[in-house]
Structure formats: C-alpha cells, structure tokens
Structure 1
Amino acid sequence: MKLRSIAIAAAALVASSAFAAPINVDAPGTVRIYMSGASAVRAALGSVVLNDVCGGLANNSATIYNATYDAAGGFKTVGNFWAVTCKLPAAKLGLAAGTDVAFFKSDAGGSAQGVFPVYFGTARPFAEVTACTTGSGQVFGSCPGTRMAVPSLGMSDVEPAMFKGSNVPTDPLDAADDNYPLDGLSPAQIAALKVTPVIQTVFGVAVNTNLYNDMFAKQGLSAVKDNAGGACTTSSSDEQCIPSIGKAQARTFFAGQANNWTLVSGNAALVDSQVNICRRVNGSGTQAAANLMFGDLPCGSAPQPSAIWDVSTSAAPDDMSSSASTTAGGLSIANYLVANMGGAATGPMPSGSLFVFEGPGTGDVVSCMNQAQKSGGYAIGHISKENAPGSNSWKHVRLEGAVANGTNAKQGRYDYLFESTIQYNKSAFAALTANQRAFITGFTAEVAKPSALATLSAANQAGVLALPTSYAGAFGTGTAAEIAFGSRVNRGGNSCQPLTAAK
C-alpha cells in the first residue's frame, strides 16, 4: 500500500478524533476469527465487519489492515490477506460491548479455500497484523501473509458440493491441496459441515477499456439515445448504451476457442491481436460460477471446460500459485503479465496468440485487464459486480442484452447470479470458545440481513442481494433495505438448478 493512499484514508476520518491504539489481537480475551475463501465478496464482508459490527472508522478503536475505506469508494483490499479489528462499541452478535474482536480474512485461492481447509482443518496464511510496515492510526498496510491458522469458517461463492473436478484447487506450490479430493467432498463429509446460504452474488463479464470501446463502436451504440435523449457515449451508464455479449460468444472465448476478436470487435488494427483471457484459478468460486454459467460444469452431462493456462500459446505461460501469488517458476504476477503481453510495460501486444491468465484473487484479474490496456490490446474475463472499475481499465458489459446489476438480478432478468454460502466444521466449531461460537453464529445471520447490506457503501452494494428467505413480506415490500436488497429468485441452495421465483 502506498503511504499516500494511507494518508488519504486516514484523513477521511473525523479530524478531531484521537486515534485509540489498535487492540492487541493476541491477548487472551480477544475474539479471533479466521475466515478463508471467496474473494468476489471481499468488499462486502469487510464492510459488514467494519461498519455493521465495529461501528465504522468513527469508532476510534476500529483498525483495518491491508485495506482502505472511504464512503464513496467503499471497502477496498490490498492483496489477498486483510483484517479488521476493533473494540465493539455496542453489544453485537451475542458479544458484550467492549469485547475485542479481530477478524482475519484470506482471499488467496478463492472459494474452495473456504471449503476444503475448513473440513480438513488445514492451516492457511492470513495477514500478520503485528508486522505491518506502513500506516498509522486506524489504517495499516504492507502486512505480510505469514500468520498461519486453521480457518474458523469459510465462505464460497457457490455451495461446497460444486467444488469437484476442475473446481478443485491444484496449486503447484501448495502441498496442502494435494490432499483435496478431485471428486470433491463426499456427501458424508459435506454433512460434517454446517452450510448456510447467506447472500446472492451478481457476477459479470468484464472487458478492458479498449475492447469495451470497440464493442461499443461495432454495435453502433453512438446512434442510440441515452435516458436524457442525448447520444450514447462510451461513458454512458444507461442500460441501452452498454455493449452486450451473447453467451455463445462469451463461451467461445472462455473455452479458448476464439483465434481472434472478430466476434466482438470491428477494429482492424486489433482484431488479430493476442486473445487474453483473464480468469481465476481452479478453486475460485468466481471461476466455479463461470464454469457453470458458460460450460454447465459440473452439473451437465456434456460440460464445456474453461480454457486453462497450459493451452496458452503466448511467450511464457506457466502455472499459477495462489499460496505464493507467483507463477510456479517464481515470477511475480506483474512480471508474468508483462512477459506474456509483449515483454515490456507497454507492450506491444503480440498477434495471433492466446494467453490464459489464472488469477489467485479478483484483484489479479483486474491487473490482467490493466496490463492488456497498457500493452495496447484486448482482454475479457470474469469480475463480480460488487467490484467497481474506479481508475482501473475495465468495465462490465451486458450479457444477452441484460445489464449486470442488482435490479435486474433480483427480478430474475439477469441470471449470472449464484448463492454464496458460509460454512464451518461442526466438530471444530464445538471446540471453539463461547465468544468465537457466538461471533460465527451471529455473523452468519447478520451477513444475510438486508439491513447489514444497507451499511455497505454504494460501490460495495452493487453486486450483492439478500435471499428471499431473509425478509418476511412480498417482493418489493417491507423496509427500505428489504426493498433495495431483497431478491425474489433463488436456486434453492443448489447451483445446478435454474433460478425460480420464490416471491
């Protein structure tokens, strides 16, 4: 994290407040919670812990590590290991006011790491908040992922039963996942977990800015009127102004079957440039959702697998390690992207080749998009809707003409939508302290509430919805939060099932 970013985040706090010292995370009375898994909803989770549980940064004991927060941009993580700590300002989650809480989250490897380590009791890396090298007050950065702990609970973008076959992690530098069964957990093993659907996550197809602009041109959207009656531009956010991709087109790219960009672009200067697919590693819930959405895997009788790194014909393809955030050969993600997108920081992008990048976290997919932009080429990939582009070089496109947003998804008009679950090992849970059990039980229930989602920033609210079971009334009625976040559709806890209207 850059010192300037930390300074800006700190300055956003109430200027007159005196910072309290961060709590002692290793004190005997501190309630330590370790959660591994889904990175797609990291901003929502972080915001719920910070704002709903800890009372926000206005609570001067609240401290965030490897993350920043502001009201406009919301909760943003830096890297795959982050944490939120505080002294509870009020009774919450069955814990008394004044209780010290330390919430650690590991995003590395994605959702499967919220399933297999939770069942097998495998230690995972978390932020070592006592060894941060930048920051002060309530915002600290450059905290290494060297704190090893067995996850108390996990979160996944789809339910644990979906993690089989190519959805099982295969990290070349992590011996732990060698023990994860390729057939997934057995029914008996899944029964040993307490699995709770909590929210719906809206996913989207993302493209870098170059491709977005050229899709806009190919589809003739400058001739379309925006809601104010003016001509649509590439900056317009109205639904009719956003380029669209069909499922068949997207499937062709994600399966590695597109040799060029003619399906989506008419720019002669770039249609033959290298095809860059920015996907997630095996074991990612975002990737599991994509595998199901575009390849019917693992549910279908004849699934279409997504392309993986070893089909790449780019300059230097290699397997990716989520645990190390490097390639198997030790290249950093930044250097690996450069090596496969022209060999220099600004390219030039090669032509006639294919590069399948597998990112350990959502932020790495964003890095892939950014590098394709810097190198003067195109990229396509998967990013959940709760992630906003900000200053990065990508945007979501429509899918089959429908915009990826909560309004469409909660009404059943956009079906790239899956139910995220929280799970814990029942035996391990019983061995935790009473306060840890109270936090986990209360937090699982809290995350599912529309009122908790309402505490998120506008940026973080865009890609999450509350399940139909989270509110009592009819769809579109109830409190403001229930109207805003309450979905009418679900998959009944089974991602293989199509969406049906529950209300």
Structure 2
Amino acid sequence: MKFSKLMIATIAVCGASQAMAAGVTRLTGSSASSVNVVRGAVNMCVANGGSALVYKTSSSTSALGNQFTVTCSTDFDASIPVTANELRVNVANGSETAVTNAAANPSSTATGFLVPTGSCTPLAAGTEALSFLGAGQMLNCGTALADTSKSDGGFLDVEGPIFNANYDAGDFAPAGFSQVFGIAVNATLYNDLQAYQKTVAGGSVVPASCAVGDTTPTCQPSLSRAQITSLINSSTTNGAKTGGLAYLVGAGSQTAGLTNKITYCKRPQSSGTQQSAQLYFLNYDALGSLGGKEPIIGNVTLSKYAAVENSSSGNVKSCLNASATTDGYKFGVLSLENNPIGGSDTYRFVRLNEVAATEGVAGSTQTSTAISGRYDFVYELSAYCPAGTCAPVIDGIKANVGAGASSPGLFVTGVESKFGRGGNSNKPYASR
C-alpha cells in the first residue's frame, strides 16, 4: 500500500516547520551527493551575504565523512520564509535513508547528527574535491552525534520506487545531477588482470608497453558486463563462482602465495550504489515472468568465491584496500566520486567493456567518457520531496551547483551532457 500523499504532506510540513523553527535542516541519504550538498549550501550562504563553516567528525581535508554539518552566519537563502542557517547531514547507511529516516515517512526511525560546539578544531584548507573550502572553514568536532532526530529528506542515487515499490513516485524529484559508477578491484587483481590482458590469450586488451600498475585509460585492464553479471548474480555454480581467479585470467596465472578466491565487496539493498549495480548488470528494471531480472547473490563463502556486505562506500574501499594475502582477489562497485589515485587507497578502477570511466589520475573529473556518451554505467540522482515539495534547502542546493562545479564523478544532467535517462532509471542512457 502506498503512503497517502495527504498524510505525507501534512507530516512533511509539520516536521519541516519544527526543524526550521530552530534554524536546522537535517538530511539523510546518498553519500555520493555529499560534496555537492556542501558546495550548494556554501554557495547559497555566500550569495546571501554570509560566511559558511563545515563541521566534520575527522581531521581529513579531502573527505567529508558520513556525518557533517554546514552553518551559515546568515540564512542560507533570503527566499526561504523561515530561519534556515544550519544543515546537519548523516549519510552513513545509504540512499534509502533519505526516506527511512525522514519525518515525512510514518514508519521512519531517527538517526544521529553532528552538533557544532566551541571545542571543534579548525583544519587546513580543503584538498581534492574539497579544495573550494579555505583554511579554517572546516572544523573537526570528533565523532559524538549529540542530535538524534528524523530528517527532512535528502538525495538518493536513484528514484525511491527502485528501493521499494510501495514508495510513491510523486514523492521524488530529479536532483539535477548524474552520477558515474565503476568497477573497482584490489591492487593484486588489477595487476594480474593487466598482465594477462597484455597476452594474446588475454585478448591483447592492454598494450605490452604499459608499466605494471599504470592507471591511464589505455593501460587499464577491462572486465566485461557479462563477467560482472556472472560474478554478482545468485548462481553459486557458474564458472565465475567455481573458477576463482582462473575465471578472469586463465588457469595458473594467480600471484604465488595468494588464496585463489574472488571476493565481491557488495553493499546492502538500502544503498543506491547497490541498486544501480542491480539495475545495470542484473536488469532489475525488468518485471514479470518474461522480464529477465536476475537475483543478486547473498552473503556467501565458497571455496573460490565470497560475497561480503559492506554498510558504506568507505567500508567497500577498506575491503578493497585490505591485504590480499589471505582473501585473494576482490572487486566491488563504487561511484566515481571516489578516486584512489594520489592518496593512501590501493584499489583501482578497471575499464568496463574496454571503456574507461576514469582518467586514472589524481584530481580528474572522472566524467569525460560518461558526458560524451561512450560510458553508460550512469544514473541520475533524485531527491525525496514528499507530495512533490522539497525541503527549501534541498531546492537551494539543487539550484546552487552550476555546470563544471560538481564533485568528481557527477555532472549536471542535461547541461553538461546531452546523454541521460530522462529522469527514469529504467530508461536506457541515450541522447535526450
């Protein structure tokens, strides 16, 4: 049974009014949208004559983390009819929390938010995706989350009904951004794939002149859509699950001393990254007896294959960065907001069907092939806006991140590219 729009609208108005009366808006949902959320909020604040500060739970100058808060010395936007000068965000548990933690959802639950205090420590200027933040504009407040509340909605990697058919499509609005996803592998798998694909047996996909570990597009090894589908579908007896590394690089090619096992570092069903992977590789948009949908593998441990659930993108990266000595070879799906080059991460992105999603260098946009329509593992973000009405700050964020200003892996839909899905994840990626 779908939620009553009248009931949702009533709850949304009451919930938003209660939050806004104290000047606070709370968002949950997609972690991929985080940098754009901060950029949009900062831009709103500055345009209204204010100065913005960003409070975090760590000392990193390149990453926001799962919980952060933006404050403005004035209201974020003069057009908002009530006080709105503080934005608290928690994206710890994936896209669907934009709904499951929202006050407008009668069955939602509360979650924790970061409350700025005078003891928060100023940090150096932002780096990488956060380079638009100056010295002292970010502060580390530690990990305590003093505000336990329900949210005013938030952003999702794909539309709400993808997560739950009972969600009303009218409660979700286009966020205005498209997001690129890619296949990430641990360093050992990257190097072994690269070596194998330099050979005739491996299809000569990688030029023999490429140095070990080279991440430039021409030198990136490639996995096919069919291979990934076989690795993540529910079958436990296909060659992808019984072959170990030999499924990808031929028998006898694995690095000496490593367990010949492939591990899928997956996400839970509440994750937009996971839903995007299921839409793209398993045809989750296809319904009915002739629909062609393939179920996802559960958490399993087999002799040459394992699937392990990770609650956040950060946990997937940890899974991929971990030593391969005991667990062998690993892969997972990540959004291209993540870039391992130039930092401490050791995982790498591979090409998909021999098309690179990333330029393979530090500081790149990681969107060029998607914008040109050559790479199509791309989905459009949406916002949870009950009965079609977004929290005012959500609308403000959507309007205040312009072309060329998105965080890595994201671009403005319909502005920076003529390709898209027309606001419907079930549609093909095509000229619109």
TM-score, normalising length: structure 2 = 0.76
Separation in 2, partners of 1:69, 1:53: 24
The one-letter amino acid of 1:246's match is S
User: Which sits farther off after the overlay, 376-385 or 143-152?
Assistant: 143-152
Alignment partner of 1:142: what SS? coil
**1:30 positional shift:** 5.3
Q: Give 1:94's match in structure 2, choosing from 48, 59, 79.
A: 79
Question: After superposition, where does 1:300-311 map in structure 2 within 5 Å?
Answer: 300=287, 301-309=291-299, 311=300
**What does residue 353 of structure 2 align with?**
400
Alignment partner of 1:64: what SS? strand
**What does residue 287 of structure 1 align with?**
274
The one-letter amino acid of 1:147's match is D
The one-letter amino acid of 1:392's match is D
**What does residue 190 of structure 1 align with?**
169
Separation in 1, partners of 2:218, 2:224: 15
Are positions 1:445 and 2:392 aligned together? no
The one-letter amino acid of 2:115's match is V
Are positions 1:261 and 2:261 aligned together? no
% same residue? 24
**1:195 positional shift:** 1.7
Are positions 1:115 and 2:99 aligned together? yes
**1:54 positional shift:** 4.5
**What does residue 63 of structure 1 align with?**
54
Q: Structure 1 residues 209, 47: CA separation in 2 closer, same or farther (over 3 Å shift)? A: farther
Q: Give 1:360's match in structure 2, choosing from 311, 317, 324.
A: 311
Moved over 6 A (4+): 26-29, 131-134, 221-226
**What does residue 335 of structure 2 align with?**
384
Alignment partner of 1:205: what SS? strand
Question: After superposition, where does 1:93-492 map in structure 2 within 5 Å?
Answer: 94=79, 101-118=85-102, 119-121=104-106, 122-130=108-116, 135-136=121-122, 138-164=138-164, 184-186=165-167, 189-191=168-170, 193-220=171-198, 231-255=209-233, 257-259=240-242, 260-265=244-249, 266-267=253-254, 269=256, 273-300=260-287, 301-309=291-299, 311-313=300-302, 352-373=303-324, 375=326, 377-389=328-340, 390-404=343-357, 405-426=366-387, 437-447=391-401, 449-450=402-403, 453-454=404-405, 460-461=407-408, 463-468=409-414, 471=415, 486-492=416-422
The one-letter amino acid of 2:298's match is I
The one-character-per-residue Cα deviations of 1:117-144 (angstroms, maximum 9, x if unpaired) are 4351524313332579873464114223
Paired positions, count = 371
**1:286 positional shift:** 0.3
Separation in 2, partners of 1:443, 1:66: 22
The one-character-per-residue Cα deviations of 1:160-208 (angstroms, maximum 9, x if unpaired) are 12113xxxxxxxxxxxxxxxxxxx225xx333x2522420000000001
The RMSD of aligned alpha carbons is 3.3
The one-letter amino acid of 2:241's match is A
**1:410 positional shift:** 1.2
Separation in 1, partners of 2:351, 2:32: 19
Asked whether the equivalents of residues 69 and 116 of structure 2 are also in contact (C-alpha less than 8 Å), the reply is no
**1:29 positional shift:** 6.7
Separation in 1, partners of 2:418, 2:112: 36
Asked whether the equivalents of residues 131 and 144 of structure 1 are also in contact (C-alpha less than 8 Å), the reply is no
Alignment partner of 2:241: what SS? coil
Asked whether the equivalents of residues 221 and 233 of structure 1 are also in contact (C-alpha less than 8 Å), the reply is no
Separation in 1, partners of 2:350, 2:142: 33
Asked whether the equivalents of residues 65 and 84 of structure 1 are also in contact (C-alpha less than 8 Å), the reply is no
**1:354 positional shift:** 3.2
Asked whether the equivalents of residues 259 and 326 of structure 2 are also in contact (C-alpha less than 8 Å), the reply is no
Asked whether the equivalents of residues 94 and 442 of structure 1 are also in contact (C-alpha less than 8 Å), the reply is no
Q: Give 2:32's match in structure 1, choosing from 34, 40, 59.
A: 40
Unmatched 5+ residue regions in structure 1? 1-25, 165-183, 314-351, 430-436, 472-485
Asked whether the equivalents of residues 194 and 221 of structure 2 are also in contact (C-alpha less than 8 Å), the reply is yes
Asked whether the equivalents of residues 244 and 398 of structure 1 are also in contact (C-alpha less than 8 Å), the reply is yes
The one-letter amino acid of 2:425's match is S
